[in-house]
Amino acid sequence: MEDISNISFVSNSFPYIGFKKVSDLINHDGPILSHFSDNNRHLLYLWIDNDLSYNRWLIFEVDKNSLLNYLYKNISLLDLIIDNKQEFLLVTDINESLEFECNNLIKKDSLPSVYLPTENSYFEFKIPNIYTSNDAEREYLHALVNDSISFKIESKSKKYLSAVKVDNLLNVLKNIKQSFTSYVSINFKKDFSSDDFKNLNFDTLLSTIVKDSELLMPNLAYGSFCASITTDYLMSKEFSPIIQNWRKETFIKYRNEVIEIDYDVQILNVLTEKYDEMDRRAIYSPIIEISRETNDYKISITDSSFRKIRKTLKPVSKPIREKLLPKIQSPEIIKSESLFQIIGMAEKTAEELKLNKKSILETKELDYAELTQSTDTIAYKGEELYLKEIFEYKIIYDRGVFIIDYPPLDLHIESQSFDLVKNEFYKNIIELYKRLQKLAIDQLSISESSLKNRIAELVAIPNVID
């Protein structure tokens, strides 16, 4: 057998007592890899060597999530060993009577290379039934992870070691969501027209698709912040196969065209030909923002195990940024007044409306604006919800279309009228409140229960017709 004289500690007693075999994972004339557990902790026994008297096993702890990732081919056996958080691994010699003759603790980097699996040591066998008791759920999550964008957020400062600021995390997730939502809406309008859906209202369908394209995180890990994000194109059955396939392909295109893109002259020419200036700003500006050199964090795109870095999001150079996102000129007050005339808010002047950066965050030739609205009452056709505090939301004006996207209540409304989009938003909140109030606790789904709690946090006194 291989010499392991560089061991750190030898024990006559086996340190893992009370563990029972769960399953053999790999067999070849006997077990090669086996899983043991005491219900709280998990061990893997990997056969690595033998002679006439002993079989030698490498024994190490794994967490349940890493083990399942290995069984579902997300990570390799080598990953399980190399990325293991244990500094020392156990090498044990077992005789023919299954007695532990020698227990050697050895530093991970001192383990003979011949004892390590290859880089391609992925699980290529049938998964034992004991790990697939909830197979439908596992297959669903595996499918989501397989097509996801996996990334790691790390602080550039070592002040908090590997901990990431919550504000940084929220900013990254918000910007990715904003970029992806714009990408879905813009490309749906490019790929389909109202003629493609004879019995459906195009704007209503688009709103439904945007709402149902909410990003999910089916896979998370600690160590900085690691997550896989994707959209669910599997569970939504209300769409036709054509749209379902389009949704899946669109997410993959988004990953390639926006997140993993490497800018060069040829790619920039393709993008400027495919998307107009406002489309490019909606899709790419949020991603460029989170990859700036001045940010105190960095983002890496990884594999689904978060171990192998595929690329790091780098700051976009000034020439590329200016070609991709031409600089917006400061709007004149008269344009702001004209915008408010267009949306029919008033005959008031801009000064009377107290326009500022909060009310209009960005305006470009009356094509785009974000307007912050506030109210203490949700009212529609005589029904009212009096709120506990001032309620704020945004109305986005995008080339003649008014949009309210409010994820906390799972609402997405679009209309060509400012008043209609606002009324429809209020109507939806009141109807949602009334519907959820009628349901008993045991009738609520998890998502409905969460929505009911959110509305309860808003509403002080309801004045509605049951």
Give mean pLDDT, residues 319-338: 63
**Cβ within 8 Å of residue 81, ≥6 positions away:** 46, 58, 60, 89, 108, 116, 117
pLDDT surpassing 80 at residue 140: no
Strand 459-463 and strand 9-11: the pairing is unpaired
Adjacent-strand bridge partners of 222? 225
Spatial contact of 131 and 70, defined as CB atoms under 8 Å apart: no
Please provide the distance, in angstroms rounded to a whole number, between the alpha carbons at the two ends of the chain: 80
Low-confidence winner among 151-155, 201-205, 309-313 (lowest mean pLDDT): 201-205
What confidence category does residue 428 fall into, taking pLDDT thresholds of 50, 70 and 90?
very high
Confidence of residue 425 (pLDDT cuts 50, 70, 90): very high
Cβ contact 42:62 at 8 Å = yes
> Is the confidence at residue 146, as pLDDT, over 80?
no
Q: What is the pLDDT of residue 301?
A: 93
CA distance 323 to 268: 8
Burial of 157 (0-12, 13-18, 19+ CB in 10 A): exposed
So what's the pLDDT on residue 107?
A: 84
| Lowest mean pLDDT segment, chosen from 82-96, 230-244, 289-303, 364-378 | 230-244
Asked if 236 and 212 touch (Cβ cutoff 8 Å), the reply is yes
pLDDT at position 356, please? 45
Task: Flag whether pLDDT at 426 surpasses 90.
Answer: yes
Res 77: pLDDT: 92
Summarised one tens digit per residue, pLDDT across range 254-273 is 999 999 998 888 888 899 99
CB 295 within 8 A of CB 153: no
CA-nearest of 44, 142, 121 to 76 is 121
pLDDT above 50 for 463: yes
Which pLDDT value is given to residue 127? Answer: 84
Query: Residue 362 pLDDT more than 90?
Result: no
The percent of residues in the chain predicted with pLDDT above 70, rounded, is: 85
The token pair that represents 452 in the structure block? 């009911």
Report the 3 state secondary structure along the chain. Answer: CCCCCCCCEEECCCCCCCCEEEEEEEECCCEEEEEEECCCCEEEEEEEEECCCEEEEEEEEECHHHHHHHHCCCCCHHHHHHCCCCCEEEEEEEECCCCEEEEEEEEHHHCCHHHCCCCCCCCCCCCCHHHCCCHHHHHHHHHHHHCCEEEEEEECCCCCCCCCCHHHHHHHHHHHHHHHHHHHHHHHHHHCCHHHCCCCCHHHHHHHHHHHCCEEEEEEEECCEEEEEEECCCCCCCCCHHHHHHHHHHHHHHHHHHHCCCCCHHHHHHHHHHCCHHHHHHHHHHHHHCCCCCCCEEEEEECCCCCCEEEECCCCCHHHHHHHCCCCCCCCHHHHHHHHHHCCCCCCCCCCCCCCCCCCCCCCCCCEEEEEEEEEEEEECCEEEEEEEEEEEEEEEECCEEEEEEHHHCEEEEECCHHHHHHHHHHHHHHHHHHHHHCCHHHCCHHHHHHHHHHHHHEEEEECCC
Tell me the pLDDT band of 108, cut-offs 50, 70 and 90: confident
b or e along 295-304 (b: 16 or more beta carbons within 10 Å of the residue's beta carbon)? bebbbbbbeb
Mean pLDDT of 85-98: 84
Q: Which residues lie across from 403 on neighbouring strands?
A: 396, 414
Instruction: Give yes or no for a contact between 360 and 369, defined as CB atoms under 8 angstroms apart.
Output: yes
Q: What is the mean pLDDT of residues 395-408?
A: 85
What pTM, to 2 d.p., does this model score? 0.52
pLDDT of residue 332: 45
Mean pLDDT (the chain, rounded)? 81
- The position carrying tokens 């749209």 is 243
Angle at 220 between CA 143 and CA 292, to 5 degrees: 105
Measured CA to CA, the distance from residue 441 to residue 436 in angstroms comes to 9
Can you tell me the mean pLDDT for 168-176? Answer: 91
Where does the pLDDT of residue 364 fall: very low under 50, low under 70, confident under 90, or very high at 90 and above?
Answer: very low
What pLDDT was estimated at residue 244? 79
pLDDT band at 187 (very low <50, low <70, confident <90, very high): very high
List of residues 6+ apart from 324 with CB closer than 8 A: 263, 268, 271, 272, 280, 284, 288, 316
pLDDT at 245 exceeding the cut of 80: yes
Q: Band of the pLDDT at 359, cuts 50, 70, 90?
A: very low
- Residue 220 tokens, joined: 């998370």
Among candidate residues 231, 236, 239, the one with its CA nearest the CA of residue 200? 239
Mean pLDDT confidence for 195-208: 80
